[in-house]
Amino acid sequence: MDETAPDPLEIPYRELSAQALRGVVEGFVLREGTDYGDIHHSLEDKVQQVLRQLEHNEARIVFDANTESVDIVVATGSRRRPITG
């Protein structure tokens, strides 16, 4: 682990254009391949679920400069972890 690597930078979702936000959320949903159990959920259902989590401050968008990647994480106090369905 690189001790000098900067912490991921939180990106307020409201500062993204609608198109950019949609792209970040869709990319996350498609990359995660989240298991929703026996019920099939469309891509749109999954995107809306993540958008609701962002709106309710249950999730955050973060940019990791070290890997030059964007991710969506669950906000749990001061700890953050990747979102799962």
User: Domain locations in the chain?
Assistant: 9-82
Q: Which CATH class is domain 9-82?
A: mainly alpha
State the Cα–Cα distance between residues 31 and 28, nearest whole angstrom.
5
Q: What is residue 83's predicted lDDT score, i.e. its pLDDT?
A: 55
End-to-end, the C-alpha distance of the chain in Å comes to: 28
Chain segment 24-52, per-residue pLDDT in tens: 999 999 987 655 566 677 889 999 999 99
pLDDT bin (cut points 50, 70, 90) of residue 85 is very low
